């Protein structure tokens, strides 16, 4: 077993591996101490420093000083922000997607919201990474994709050159413990350290998932002034010694929870360690009441370990393998010198876990020690992220095989060519070659042979091999369609929004197809429907052209169809234009996540007309009681103001009075037809309840079609010149509070974010409503409509297939792709050969992997096709070529299930307990009986376990298993001692197992 590499293939520097990358010009040694502001000191790393004087001079990123940053942002906002052309933007986005990681590369951390808007083509201002930081340090708990994204340093430099801003947060590419490249994000989480001699003193120290326990321990010991060689480090969760942490392990391999306790246990004065009570995976077990039930035992979820629990329960209910471990037969086969194994530790820990499960006295056990062993053998499963149960199963079977391989020294055997020899001769020859190097119970029970045939398309050369297989990975019919979850919003705001499912092939469909589907479901013509998308990532709202394709719609975008007006039956000359309307609170920087489409008729000539149309559209969302109360209260104030002005005018000169009298006549004449406003009259904005300036208060109320009486509070009377108060992104107070009429339900901004003072003669464009009083309009119904949709997903065209249909797809001949050619020894070059698989022989235990996950360039999808598989009598005779082997008739005994999507989800297992001859569902620590075996056939079935019928034997009773455990536990120590002698010589005996 090779040792896992560290972060840099060199000796770990404890002062830098676990430190923060500082974003300032000074450096200091990191001690883990907290500063007065609650931050920690951190050293400057090379990733944060300019590489040369030239780089330093060109550095336009914002200093970390907050005052400077705010001043810089203000300066940037005072002038229009320069934007990259679409072609340049697309190049940067593509570079970010396709750049391959290489060790030593520099990548910058960038605010996710800013990048999402940039990638979507939205106008953006200066880069602002300040929300990602606490002081000079990146905030704990942030995650890529949710809070930030990473871009190559070349992309970062270009973005800063054009947009400015900052601060710069640069990270390096390293090799992780799985020997793969990744960006060392250095996102810390805090732990509470204490030492055994003074448990009252607690020091908060940051930890990093990709540092070793040794590195973390050294920094902690430095803080406590202890020698690392005299300290053991313990997971001290809830102030109990949960498990000792080994120096070579990684922090991600632990089960740390943020801010939990960690104990530094000091060596005693005599040089010994304090006595430790045995603490393994039996901790947190709970004792079963009543009689023992072997195998009916759950497995605790250690943190996203349901995938492991599912695979373990399936293997646990594999009778030949379980019996092999319960009887301690495995002890004599342990291979502790195999460099490809785990020194026998994986098999030993697996045996211990199986004995706990089959003791029958526990409701559940926590497989912590076993998880540590699987991580040693397959470090890609380190930590507590979700993984694939089939991948875990493959590594586990391979690991058990290497730990139990009876071949201590593998001979070198040169393969032979096909040369036209009979298939059975070649198959037997290659199986013997395989067995000469691999001989274990895993090989005996789980492996058989596949026939692989390659034919050169140029010279017709044939190559045939017989390769061993541990499981069959069967494809599912791959043609899929996307299920769009569409929200339909009626033009009548009183009608609640509804959600509809639309299934289309995204690659070949357009927006028109969605509109036609929705049209059928809501009985509204497509001409009265508008398709839109709303990105929750960038808060961008777009109208989708009916001719536009659907493959660019993100799975998490909301898809909305609005009913709109397109014609007026009573007046054919009226033409409608569709306007995007955003809403925003007066004191908020962000728009509401509930834009809508407004149908504006050509009869709208003034902003007052537009105001009425908007009120009609938002009718159901208006708070009538509050609006009426505000309007009524200000009508009294208006009358008092008018009386005061009239009294003042009584003392004026006769000429002035005559002039006012003439004006009053004109005003009253205009008031008699308040709704007939001259098309040329655009001198006063009709914003909110304002009537034209020539409309007197005596003209009554401004009537909307919904019956609202909006007082004609004339701007000339109030002394307010609303046109003088423009709006831009730097001035949130559109109209000063002391000059604002409280009766304004909203103010209308045009596409340039200024107060709309007139209706454009061409196209209105996008408008924004500024809600002065958040209680006057209730946007919750629209917000709920936007948030109620689930992510769109790929669904199969064939919703149901048989298992045999999947096998037929597996053995179908196909041509190799251009990226995976085969070297033809006759042509002396790589060719796209035709390849065909066949099942040559069938193993005693057949593991079938249903390939539900499809991998595309930028995303992965799950196929929820229902695969119909038999519980009993699966006959593969038509597919198995070797007719001399036992008849391949199988019975199902276990299923690993996956529920949910590719990005998350949950694993469970169904398994048949051979002692009780009943099916059970294993859901982590919970176990329940399945009364109808047919219920195990679901769309979630992922890995199937079958046993060949000729290998079955009478079921073992629970009493037999319990007695075997008792007898074998007494002799386990003797077998362990004798095994040391067995490992000194090569054994050629075959594995003998007892069928149960």
Q: How far is Cα 374 from Cα 396, in angstroms, rounded to an integer? A: 7
Q: How far is Cα 949 from Cα 870, in angstroms, rounded to an integer? A: 14
Q: Give the angle 306-150-257 at the CA atoms, nearest 5°.
A: 35
CA torsion sign for 749, 752, 756, 760 is negative
Catalytic residue, chosen from 147, 434, 500, 906, is 906
Q: Give the angle 87-88-89 at the CA atoms, nearest 5°.
A: 90
| Half-sphere exposure in the Cβ direction for 782 (13 Å, CA) | 25
Interior/surface letters 763-788, b for 16+ CB within 10 angstroms, e for the rest: ebebbbbbbbbeebbebeebeebbee
Cβ-based burial of 984 (10 A; exposed 0-12, middle 13-18, buried ≥19): exposed
| Half-sphere exposure in the Cβ direction for 250 (13 Å, CA) | 23
Active site residue 906: yes
Contact 918, 911 (CB under 8 A): no
| Half-sphere exposure in the Cβ direction for 327 (13 Å, CA) | 16
Active site residue 306: yes
Write a three-state SS string for 146-200: CCEEEEEHHHHHHHHHHHCEECCCEEEEEECCCCCEEECCCCCEEEEEEECCEEE
Token reading at 935: 């219920």
How far does CA 466 lie from the centroid of its chain?
A: 40
Is the preceding peptide bond at 944 cis, omega within 30 degrees of 0?
no
- Return the axis-axis angle of helices 958-982 and 345-359, rounded to nearest 10°: 160
Contact 296, 927 (CB under 8 A): yes
Catalytic residue, chosen from 306, 314, 342, 824, is 306
Q: How far is Cα 267 from Cα 561, in angstroms, rounded to an integer? A: 70
Cβ-based burial of 504 (10 A; exposed 0-12, middle 13-18, buried ≥19): middle
Q: How far is Cα 415 from Cα 649, in angstroms, rounded to an integer? A: 114
Q: How far is Cα 281 from Cα 371, in angstroms, rounded to an integer? A: 9
Question: Phi-psi category of 995—alpha, beta or left, where left has phi over 0 and alpha has psi -120 to 50?
Answer: beta
| Half-sphere exposure in the Cβ direction for 678 (13 Å, CA) | 12
- The residues with which 448 forms a beta bridge, in sequence order, are 469
Catalytic residues: 306, 906
């Amino acid at each position: 077993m090779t040792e896992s590499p560290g972060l840099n293939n060199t000796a770990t520097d404890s002062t830098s591996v676990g430190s923060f990358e500082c974003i300032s010009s000074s450096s200091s040694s990191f001690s883990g101490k907290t500063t007065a502001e609650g931050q920690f000191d951190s050293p400057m790393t090379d990733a944060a420093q300019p590489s040369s004087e030239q780089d330093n001079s060109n550095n336009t990123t914002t200093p970390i000083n907050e005052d400077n940053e705010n001043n810089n942002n203000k300066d940037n906002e005072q002038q229009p922000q320069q934007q990259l052309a679409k072609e340049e933007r697309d190049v940067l986005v593509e570079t970010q997607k396709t750049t391959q990681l290489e060790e030593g590369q520099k990548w910058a951390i960038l605010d996710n919201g800013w990048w999402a808007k940039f990638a979507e083509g939205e106008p953006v201002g200066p880069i602002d990474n300040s929300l990602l930081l606490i002081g000079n340090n990146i905030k704990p708990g942030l995650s890529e994709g949710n809070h930030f994204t990473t871009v190559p340093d070349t992309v970062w430099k270009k973005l800063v050159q054009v947009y400015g801003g900052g601060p710069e947060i640069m990270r390096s590419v390293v090799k992780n413990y799985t020997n793969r490249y990744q960006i060392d994000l250095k996102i810390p989480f805090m732990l509470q350290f204490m030492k055994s001699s003074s448990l009252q003193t607690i020091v908060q120290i940051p930890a990093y998932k990709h540092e070793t326990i040794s590195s973390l321990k050294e920094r902690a010991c430095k803080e406590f002034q202890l020698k690392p060689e005299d300290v053991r480090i313990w997971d001290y969760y809830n102030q109990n010694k949960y498990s000792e942490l080994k120096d070579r392990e990684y922090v991600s391999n632990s089960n740390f929870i943020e801010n939990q306790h960690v104990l530094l246990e000091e060596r005693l004065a005599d040089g010994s360690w304090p006595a430790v009570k045995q603490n393994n995976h039996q901790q947190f077990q709970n004792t079963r009441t009543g009689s023992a039930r072997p195998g009916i035992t759950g497995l605790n979820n250690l943190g996203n370990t349901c995938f492991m629990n599912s695979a373990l329960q399936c293997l646990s209910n594999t009778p030949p393998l379980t019996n092999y471990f319960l009887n301690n037969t495995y002890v004599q086969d342990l291979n502790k010198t195999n460099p490809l194994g785990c020194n026998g530790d994986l098999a030993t820990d697996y045996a211990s876990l199986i004995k706990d499960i089959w003791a029958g006295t526990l409701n559940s056990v926590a497989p912590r020690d076993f998880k540590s062993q699987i991580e040693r053998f397959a470090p890609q499963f380190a930590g507590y992220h979700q993984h694939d149960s089939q991948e875990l199963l493959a590594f586990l079977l391979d690991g058990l095989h290497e730990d139990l391989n009876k071949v201590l020294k593998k001979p070198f055997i040169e393969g032979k060519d096909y040369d036209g020899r009979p298939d059975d001769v070649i198959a037997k020859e290659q199986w013997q070659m395989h067995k000469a190097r691999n001989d274990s119970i895993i090989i005996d029970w789980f492996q058989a042979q596949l026939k692989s045939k390659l034919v050169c398309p140029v010279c017709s050369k044939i190559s045939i091999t017989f390769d061993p297989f541990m499981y069959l990975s069967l494809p599912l019919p791959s043609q899929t369609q996307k299920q769009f979850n569409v929200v339909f919003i009626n033009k009548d705001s009183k009608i609640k929004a509804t959600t509809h499912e639309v299934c289309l092939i995204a690659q070949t469909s357009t927006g028109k197809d969605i509109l036609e589907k929705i049209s059928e479901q809501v009985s509204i013509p497509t001409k009265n429907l508008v398709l839109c998308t709303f990105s929750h990532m960038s808060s961008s709202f777009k109208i989708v052209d009916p001719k536009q394709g659907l493959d660019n719609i993100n799975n998490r975008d909301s898809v909305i169809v609005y009913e709109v007006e397109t014609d007026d039956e009573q007046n054919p000359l009226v033409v409608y234009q569709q306007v995007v309307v955003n809403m925003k609170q007066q004191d908020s920087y962000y728009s509401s996540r509930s834009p809508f489409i407004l149908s504006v008729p050509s009869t709208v000539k003034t902003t007052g007309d537009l105001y009425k149309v908007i009120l009609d559209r938002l009718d159901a969302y208006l708070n009538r009681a509050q609006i009426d109360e505000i309007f009524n209260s200000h009508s009294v104030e208006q009358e008092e103001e008018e009386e005061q002005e009239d009294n003042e005018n009584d003392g004026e000169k006769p000429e002035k009075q005559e002039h006012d009298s003439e004006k009053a006549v004109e005003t009253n004449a205009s008031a008699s037809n308040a709704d007939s406003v001259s098309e040329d009259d655009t001198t006063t904005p009709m914003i909110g309840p304002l009537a034209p300036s020539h409309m007197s208060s005596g003209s009554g109320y401004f009537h909307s079609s919904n019956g609202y009486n909006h007082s004609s509070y004339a701007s000339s009377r109030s002394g307010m010149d609303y046109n003088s108060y423009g709006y831009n992104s730097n001035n949130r107070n559109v109209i000063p509070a002391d000059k604002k009429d409280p009766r304004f339900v909203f103010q209308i901004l045009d596409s340039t974010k200024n107060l709309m003072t007139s209706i454009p003669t061409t196209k209105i464009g996008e408008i924004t409503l500024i809600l002065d009083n958040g209680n006057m309009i209730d946007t919750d119904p629209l917000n709920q409509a936007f948030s109620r949709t689930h992510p769109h997903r790929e669904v199969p065209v064939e919703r149901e297939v048989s298992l045999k249909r999947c096998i037929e797809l597996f053995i179908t001949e196909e041509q190799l792709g251009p990226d995976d050619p085969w070297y033809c020894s006759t042509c002396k070059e790589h060719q796209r050969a035709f390849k065909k698989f066949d099942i040559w022989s069938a193993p005693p235990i057949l593991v079938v992997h249903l390939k539900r996950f499809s991998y595309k360039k930028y995303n992965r999808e799950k196929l929820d096709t229902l695969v119909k598989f038999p519980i009993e009598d699966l006959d593969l005779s038509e597919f198995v070529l070797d007719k001399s082997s036992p008849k391949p008739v199988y019975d199902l005994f276990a299923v690993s299930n996956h529920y949910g999507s590719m990005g998350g989800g949950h694993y469970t297992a169904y398994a048949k307990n051979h002692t009780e001859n009943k099916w059970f569902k294993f859901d982590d620590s919970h176990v329940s009986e399945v009364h109808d075996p047919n219920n195990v056939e679901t769309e979630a079935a992922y890995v199937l376990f079958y046993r060949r019928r000729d290998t079955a034997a009478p079921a073992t009773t629970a009493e037999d298993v319990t007695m075997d455990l008792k007898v074998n536990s007494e002799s386990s120590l003797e077998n362990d001692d004798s095994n040391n002698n067995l490992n000194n010589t090569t054994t050629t005996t075959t594995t003998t197992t007892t069928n149960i």
